[in-house]
Amino acid sequence: MTSGRGTPAAMPAPDAPGPRPGRPREAFVLRTAGLPVETVRPLRAPGARRWADDVLDAAARLTADGEALGDLLHPLIGGTEDEAERRALLKLRREVFNNRLPKDPGAARALVAARDPRTAGALGDWLTRRAALAAREAEGTGLLASETARARAALCAAAGEDRLRKGLLLASPTLDAGLDAYVRRTAADPAATPDKKHRKIERSLLSYLYRTACKTSPFSTFTGVGLGTFSDGEAHEGPGAFPLAVADAWPTAARLNTAAVGRLAATVLADPARRADLPVTVASGWGREADRVRYVRRWVTEGDEATAVTFDSVKDRLFYLRRSGTLDRLLGHFEEHGTLRYGALSAWLAADRGATEADVAQYLDALLALGLVRVPCLDVTVHDTDPLRAFQSALREVGRPWADRLADRLEPAAACVDKFAAAEPDRRRLLLENLRAELATVQRSLGAEQSRVPQTVLYEDCAVPADGPTGLTLSADRWAEAAGEPLARLERVLPAFDLTLPHRLTLKGFFTARFGRGGRCDDLVKLVHDFHEDFFDQYLSFTSQRPAFGPDGDHNPEENWLGLPELKALDAARAAFLTGMRERWAAHEGDGDLVLDEDLLDAAAAPLAPLAPAFAPMSHHVQLADRPDGPLAVLNRSYGGLSFPFSRFTHLFDGLGERLLAAGAEAAPPGAVLAEVTGGPVTSNLNLHARLTEYEIVGPGESGTLEPRFQLGLDDLFLVHDEEQDRLVLRSVRLEREVIPVYLGYLVPLALPELPRTLLLLSPTSMSPLNVWGGVPDRPPVDGVTHRPRVRHGSLVLARRSWGVDARNLPLRAPGTDDATWFLGWHRFRRAHGLPARVYATVSDSGARGATGAKPSYVDFDSPLSLAAFEALLRTDKARAVLREALPDEDGLHAASSRGRHVTELAVETLPAPTPARTAP
């Protein structure tokens, strides 16, 4: 099925004709938090923060003065013969030294005045200031109570934010359903202490509000995406180095969950009468051997409809069936007639073999279950950017009355999807309810005993338009200076961190060991099967259980069962980087940034130079921080692949797919074509996108989505080792050109079936999580807290400042502790270790269900609500938190709407410089 609709949104072109050497694409994706950061300010307790600062500052001064005063009191103790007075002076000295106010300050002063009036004067001043501190300390309880109540009222008000509620409806229907009751109860008495149920709701609401205002992971209206432009000419004018202006109205596009379409298709296939009318074909790529039939078997494990995120996992494997007269006749019939209707095939087979209808049904059911016979017409493909409309079109192409009726019966469901984007939250709830009911009714009408509708039945993406013609335009020169140039230098080192590079090198080593240098393989299916069966599966099993670093902190060398010099070079690059980091960390003093110079990068890049592919487009997720002393660019993530920042969002912007398709063709190396590896039928909305490559590789068991002339079957492809460049080259017999596989989906490649996953080892796909501190020892902890400084190369931040601490060393609320003491303890901890007011906390071994505990959580030390929510993540004493500075913090944000400033992240793609034409191996 192929269908797609664009959402009207006038946006800049993603690329000027052809990439320019040393520069990113002219376009970038701007991931923008749905709410301005000002939304979370009312959740703070500013008066309580000032109170805590006053108390801690005064306490620090009194403690220092108390130590000096203790030295003055010491001689008086020795000069006193009266034992009772001596004990009283000793007690007073301890109290002053420990910054405790004596029970009777007047008596204490008189005791000293009788012996040393000058010391008595100093003591009197200290007692006066200590009494003032006690009075200030006493204000904390009431202050915390009133400001926490005000913060709860502000949280209730923020719960009505349109973008928050629209996103909640899809992300957490349970929270959305209970939120209004919580708001009514809390707004009526914000000073009341919430019970366990309402504390849980409060924490969840707070988490989603922080997600919408302080994080940049696209989901529904929580985070929008815009298309920005780098310009040599006029950029947007405004304060700071990188001003951007976003519009207030953000259009959205909703699509049915592909899993819901899959459940509908499965229900149709389960009905023998309807299945009889469906076109069937034999799995592509099958072949005969002496006594067996070979094909790639693909099977799907359906996800749990009750979970918030549902997608079906797909696996494939080379499979064999013993040849028989019946099977040979069936395959010959397919060769002669191509696609057949299931019922016609069944009738022919019964007549041909003289079998009963029941026997034929059982036989074909078995072949269908084994994947040799397929019904591909109802599959969702990567280019079905509107899955439900595409499913309806596929039904109408079946050409049977029941299929036309079913397509029409789905029209109310499609109407719900169409109306969803423009609807307000209350209307959206009704549309979702109607949509679920419609899908369930359709399934039951098809004979399903129990309907299966995913909890998240819709997915939504949100576009962020520019406010004005240059609203999303950045200066290319400023970008190059702050981020582009240091990124270009860093890219030389990223292969050392690439998780897929050892796999690519291992495949090349396996190939040359089997076929020789300069060798050629025409049977890619068998190559992939043998690679996994004879080598790679065992290799993965072994390496997956091995830590990256040994007990001494050194990198564990890559498993090199084939003795490949390239893997030794990779080990050398990693060792060079680690050695350089250790040396610079050992020499580092103070609280300043740890700067990585070009010498370190050169040393790590040198062994990698022979391993670097000629065509390696990279993408980087970067946050810009405007600062008075110069901007910083903070690198969050790097990975390799073509058009990846844009692919998931092609349905949001008219014409984006066509422009990316043209730009990709121009970016391809001379003599090469780009061909998409789709991975077969889509099981997640994350993999839907427009056509972005001229060709596609159609693997065994897959059905092509493009015109036949743009489809490249595996029988048309061969793999050859280019001795001159020492690389594996995939080539097409028909095109007589190199074929570069490209993956454009957002599911991690490891989630793909075996064959497409292996083809991607021939592609520019890479994953390079930059762990600059790996293997570098911590400094001795201070009160259980370890600290790492910010690491940067030039103005590019490679690692934020961080603090690691076990839960038992945090100032968590103890039983019986009042709010003021608890809040003061957190700020005493923050000041003692130099933490900023806002951080992102990653908690491990928290006992949290699923992956929630591993995701960074926004923590605002000035908000009692935020601190309480953070403590709730620390389920056990074994939990460990890593706190990273919020960089940029709210004073360094560079994008704004009329409502305030937004947290943003740029997804930028860099393209390699043009290379000379490659000769055919």
Rounded to an integer, the average pLDDT of 321-343 is: 92
Would you say 44 and 858 are in contact if contact means Cβ atoms under 8 Å apart?
Answer: no
For residue 133, how many other CB atoms are within 10 A of its CB?
19
**Predicted pLDDT of residue 614:** 83
Predicted confidence (pLDDT) per residue in 459-490, tens digit? 999 999 999 988 999 999 999 999 999 999 99
Predicted confidence (pLDDT) per residue in 550-609, tens digit? 988 899 999 999 999 999 999 999 999 999 999 999 999 988 999 999 999 999 999 999
**Predicted pLDDT of residue 40:** 98
Dihedral angle over CA of 441, 446, 452, 453, nearest 10: -50
**Predicted pLDDT of residue 18:** 36
Calpha distance 805→822 (Å, rounded): 18
**Predicted pLDDT of residue 501:** 96
Question: What tokens were used for 118?
Answer: 């000058």
Distance of CA 178 to the CA centre of its chain: 28
Q: Strand 717-722 and strand 520-521: pairing?
A: antiparallel
Whether residue 295 is predicted with pLDDT greater than 90 in this model: the reply is no
Would you say 743 and 677 are in contact if contact means Cβ atoms under 8 Å apart?
Answer: yes
pLDDT grade for 305, boundaries at 50, 70 and 90: low
Calpha distance 626→524 (Å, rounded): 51
- Residue 680, phi-psi category: left (phi > 0), alpha (psi -120 to 50), beta (remainder): left
Predicted confidence (pLDDT) per residue in 718-752, tens digit? 999 999 999 999 999 999 999 999 999 887 777 78
* Residues in a beta bridge with 245: 896
Would you say 528 and 755 are in contact if contact means Cβ atoms under 8 Å apart?
Answer: yes
Which of 736, 525, 774, 741 lies closest to 640 in space, CA to CA?
741
Q: What is the pTM of this model?
A: 0.91
Rounded to an integer, the average pLDDT of 812-830 is: 96
H-helix segments, 857-896: 864-873
For 460, phi and psi rounded to 5 degrees?
A: -135, 140
**Predicted pLDDT of residue 19:** 34
**Predicted pLDDT of residue 416:** 98
Of 13 and 170, more confident:
170
Helices (H) and strands (E) in the chain, counts: 29, 33
Rounded to an integer, the average pLDDT of 884-888 is: 97
pLDDT grade for 852, boundaries at 50, 70 and 90: very low
Rounded to an integer, the average pLDDT of 280-285 is: 87
Q: What is the DSSP string of 22-36?
A: TSEEEEEEEEEESS-
Calpha distance 478→626 (Å, rounded): 12
Q: Which of 33-47, 77-91, 670-684 has the highest mean pLDDT?
A: 33-47
Predicted confidence (pLDDT) per residue in 139-159, tens digit? 999 999 999 999 999 999 999
Question: What tokens were used for 630?
Answer: 């110069």
Longest dimension (CA), the chain: 123
Calpha distance 226→244 (Å, rounded): 11
* Residues in a beta bridge with 28: 228, 908
Dihedral angle over CA of 684, 685, 687, 693, nearest 10: 140
Whether residue 173 is predicted with pLDDT greater than 50 in this model: the reply is yes
Calpha distance 220→459 (Å, rounded): 7
**Predicted pLDDT of residue 319:** 86
Rg of the chain over CA atoms, in angstroms?
33
Would you say 828 and 56 are in contact if contact means Cβ atoms under 8 Å apart?
Answer: yes
Calpha distance 871→895 (Å, rounded): 32
**Predicted pLDDT of residue 1:** 52
Predicted confidence (pLDDT) per residue in 590-602, tens digit? 889 999 999 999 9
Helix (H, G, I), strand (E, B) or coil at 296: strand
Calpha distance 400→485 (Å, rounded): 60
**Predicted pLDDT of residue 134:** 95
pLDDT grade for 16, boundaries at 50, 70 and 90: very low
**Predicted pLDDT of residue 912:** 78
Above pLDDT 70, what percent of the chain?
A: 94
- Mean pLDDT of the residues in the chain: 91
Question: What tokens were used for 506?
Answer: 């291992």
Q: Which strand (E) or helix (H) includes residue 169?
A: helix 162-171
pLDDT grade for 14, boundaries at 50, 70 and 90: very low
